């Protein structure tokens, strides 16, 4: 009798597992940044795997006189949504575009739209940001800090909100060799920042002093935004996701999909083409890259499982701690792929690692700058418009943006992320994979290269 009672007690006290899809049943979501790299995959995956979602509101600004609903129609034509349109086209009816702008007061929303979101939305995903590393301080602060503040203020007015998720970056604390899954103290007082910005024109020396150990205005504003979320989230269950360098999709919705040159993609493309001949950094440095679908899956699961906690949960979405890849390994896998598909337009592609900026500059001068001037001169003599100097100027900006990350290495802890991954059911692990240990770089990098050729260089279907 006692044994049967104990069995009954343990059975009744055992918590019933709720699947990720079940967590989204009947929920209305608001997503900012849905036209970005991560945002597109997040939107597609939510609609594909969570069929009983009520509505997905997308905050979209009018761009070049293109209305929000027109922007959505254009985005849905991209390869990232091909699976959804083919298999579950009815889910598109759940998308509701809302005109707004995170950089404007009150999000530049109509009063009736604000009221609609206040009454209906229960889960918010704030993924909108400027990802340009060297934005002027006022722009970086207005979008990445001010935008977060405006979205959070709206959340605090929502009547049925149960989860707020903020997408940050793992690189807002690069002054620390080991980056834990916690919110670190702000790099500066927001009052001090506002005082400086109120002066108007801010010179580079003042900005450099303010940034202190932060590498750029992007990381600085993101660090301040994390502290804002920590201090101002109120009673809303809140989650911060910190991706590292977001790269091509591993599996979904299309293997190797990507739509931009940011992160390591530009470097890899130029290396495949034979144009990039030098990389600043030690070949043994770890480059922490994470597939975009892993980032989206973590966002979806983290928001679903954090609807009761009063403390802010932080998850680092990274690979360096448990499944690292070095610059040398990345180079070898890239060149092995290029031996097969021969994407190079310049003969004898090679890549030299150096810790010297002087050596890097010299090689760039010889392999990029001088040839660019020569080729543009030839075009001018033929009566054509020069284009190579402009191209290599863009390449140079991309290279400089990555130099900091390739020439340094960090240990970015992801214990909480892995614990969350292992807590899922077998079905949810299959539907929402994000455990970095599962990435096989020998498979992933060739697919990444294929994605660059297919989606960025338009070399093959």
Query: Radius of gyration (Cα) for the chain, nearest Å?
Result: 23
Mean pLDDT score, 6-11: 44
Angle, CA 136 vertex, CA 131 and CA 138 arms, to 5°: 100
Please report the beta strands in 222-333, taking only residues with DSSP state E, as ranges in sequence order: 238-243, 245-247, 278-280, 289-291, 313-317
pLDDT value for 21: 96
Three-class secondary structure of residue 29 per DSSP: strand
DSSP state of 90: G
Average pLDDT over residues 103-121: 96
pLDDT of residue 83 exceeding 80, the answer is yes
pLDDT reported for residue 273 = 83
- Domain residues for the domain of 43 are 20-236
Q: What is the mean pLDDT of the chain?
A: 90
User: In this model, does residue 288 exceed pLDDT 50?
Assistant: yes
Note whether residue 246 is domain-resident: no
Q: Tell me: pLDDT of 2 over 60.
A: no
Is residue 318 within 8 A of residue 415, CB to CB? The reply is no
Q: Which of 300, 342, 281, 235 is nearest to 432 (CA)?
A: 300
Confidence (pLDDT) at 241: 98
Over the range 87-98, which residues count as b (16 or more CB within 10 Å of their CB) and which as e? eeeebeebbbbb
Indicate whether 403 belongs to any domain. Answer: no
Proportion of the chain above pLDDT 90, given as a percent: 65
> Rounded to an integer, what distance in angstroms lies between the CA atom of residue 305 and that of residue 302?
5
pLDDT of 130 higher than 60: yes
Mean pLDDT, residues 450-455: 93
Whether 5 is covered by a domain: the verdict is no
pLDDT at position 422 over 60: yes
The predicted structure's pLDDT at residue 345: 67
CA distances for 288 relative to 278, 319, 408, angstroms: 19, 6, 11
Spatial distance between the Cα atoms of 310 and 430, rounded to a whole number of angstroms: 29
C-alpha triplet 206, 210, 213: angle, nearest 5°: 125
CATH number at residue 39: 3.40.50.720
The residue that leads in pLDDT, 33 or 204, is: 33
CA nearest neighbour of 238 among 164, 168, 299:
164
- Label residue 389 by pLDDT band (50, 70, 90): confident
Residue 393 vs residue 251, higher pLDDT:
251
User: Within 13 Å and on the Cβ side, how many CA atoms surround 84?
Assistant: 27
Number of domains the chain is built from = 1
Distance CA 40, CA 19 (A): 23
- Whether the pLDDT of residue 244 is over 60: the answer is yes
The stretch 219-225 carries a mean pLDDT of 95
What is the value of pTM for the model shown?
Answer: 0.92
Query: Residue 367 carries which DSSP code?
Result: I
- Residue of 343, 369, 340, 364 lying closest to 352 (CA atoms): 364
Residue 232 gets the label, from left (phi > 0), alpha (psi -120 to 50) or beta, of alpha
Could you give the CA distance from residue 73 to residue 149 in angstroms, rounded to a whole number? 29
More confident residue, 202 or 75: 75
pLDDT per position as a tens digit, 157-209: 999 999 999 999 999 999 999 999 999 999 998 988 888 888 776 777 788 88
Q: Per mean pLDDT, which range of 31-35, 44-48, 102-106, 212-216 is the poorest?
A: 212-216
Q: Is 15 left (phi over 0), alpha (psi -120 to 50) or beta?
A: beta
Whole-angstrom Cα distance, residue 429 to residue 136? 41
Q: Which candidate, 372, 333, 326, places its Cα nearest to that of 353?
A: 326
pLDDT at 460: 58
Q: What is the mean pLDDT of residues 366-382?
A: 87
271 or 84, which is more confident?
84
pLDDT one-digit tens code per residue, 44-61? 999 999 999 999 999 999
User: How does pLDDT run across 290-310, given as a tens digit for each residue?
Assistant: 999 999 999 999 999 988 888
* Cβ neighbours of 110 (radius 10 Å): 12
Query: Is residue 28 assigned to a domain?
Result: yes
φ, ψ of residue 196 to 5 degrees: the values are -65, -45
The closest alpha carbon to 310, from 232, 236, 256, belongs to 236
pLDDT at 354 over 50: yes
293 touches 250 (CB < 8 A): yes
Is 108 domain-assigned? yes
What pLDDT was estimated at residue 251? 96
Of 5-9, 261-265, 281-285, where does mean pLDDT reach its minimum?
Answer: 5-9
Length of the chain measured in residues: 461
Mean pLDDT of 307-315: 90
Would you state the pLDDT for residue 198? 83
Q: Is residue 372 part of a domain?
A: no
User: Residues with Cβ < 8 Å from 277, sequence gap 6 or more?
Assistant: 350, 351, 352, 363, 364, 367, 368
Cα 64 to chain centroid, rounded? 24
Instruction: Report how far residue 37's alpha carbon sits from residue 54's, in angstroms, rounded to the nearest whole number.
Output: 24
* Residue 2 covered by a domain: no
Average pLDDT of the residues in 308-318: 93
Comparing 124-133, 317-326, 364-373, the range with the smallest average pLDDT is 364-373
Residue 243 forms part of a structural domain: no
Outline where 76-169 has alpha helix (H). 82-87, 111-120, 137-140, 147-155
């Amino acid at each position: 009798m006692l044994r049967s009672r104990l069995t009954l007690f343990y059975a009744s006290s055992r918590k019933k597992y709720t699947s990720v899809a079940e967590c989204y049943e009947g929920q209305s979501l608001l997503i900012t940044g849905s036209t970005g790299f991560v945002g597109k995959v997040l939107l597609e995956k939510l609609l594909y795997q969570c069929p009983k979602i009520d509505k997905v509101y997308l905050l979209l600004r009018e761009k070049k006189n293109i209305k929000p609903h027109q922007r959505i129609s254009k985005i849905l034509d991209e390869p990232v949504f091909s699976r959804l349109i083919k298999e579950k086209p009815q889910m598109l009816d759940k998308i509701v575009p809302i005109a707004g702008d995170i950089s404007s007061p009150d999000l530049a929303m109509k009063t009736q739209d604000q009221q609609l979101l206040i009454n209906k939305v229960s889960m918010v995903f704030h993924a909108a940001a400027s990802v340009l590393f060297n934005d002027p301080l006022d722009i970086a602060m207005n979008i990445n800090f001010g935008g977060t503040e405006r979205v959070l203020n709206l959340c605090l007015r929502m009547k049925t909100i149960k989860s707020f998720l903020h997408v940050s970056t793992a690189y807002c604390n690069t002054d620390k060799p080991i980056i834990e899954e916690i919110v670190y103290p702000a790099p500066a007082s927001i009052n001090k920042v506002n005082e400086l910005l109120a002066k108007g024109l801010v010179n580079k020396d003042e900005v450099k002093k303010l940034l202190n150990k932060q590498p750029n205005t992007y990381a600085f504003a993101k660090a301040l935004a994390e502290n804002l979320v920590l201090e101002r989230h109120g009673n809303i269950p809140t989650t911060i996701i910190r991706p590292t360098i977001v790269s091509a999709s591993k599996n979904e919705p299309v293997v190797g999909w990507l739509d931009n040159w940011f992160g390591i993609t530009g470097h890899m493309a130029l290396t495949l083409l034979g144009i990039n001949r030098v990389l600043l950094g030690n070949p043994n440095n770890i480059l922490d890259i994470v597939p975009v679908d892993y980032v989206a899956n973590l966002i979806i699961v983290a928001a679903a499982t954090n609807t009761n906690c009063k403390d802010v949960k932080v998850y680092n979405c990274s690979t360096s701690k448990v499944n690292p890849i070095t610059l040398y390994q990345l180079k070898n896998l890239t060149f092995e792929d290029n031996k097969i598909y021969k994407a190079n337009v310049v003969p004898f592609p090679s890549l030299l690692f150096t810790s010297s900026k002087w050596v890097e500059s010299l090689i760039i001068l010889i392999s990029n700058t001088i040839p660019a001037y020569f080729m543009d001169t030839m075009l001018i003599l033929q009566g054509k418009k020069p284009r190579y100097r402009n191209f290599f100027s863009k390449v140079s900006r991309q290279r400089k943006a990555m130099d900091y990350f390739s020439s340094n290495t960090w240990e970015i802890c992801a214990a909480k992320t892995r614990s969350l991954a292992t807590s899922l059911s077998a079905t949810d692990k299959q539907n929402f994979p994000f455990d970095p240990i599962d990435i096989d770089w020998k498979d992933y990098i060739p697919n990444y290269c294929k994605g660059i050729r297919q989606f960025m260089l338009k070399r093959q279907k």
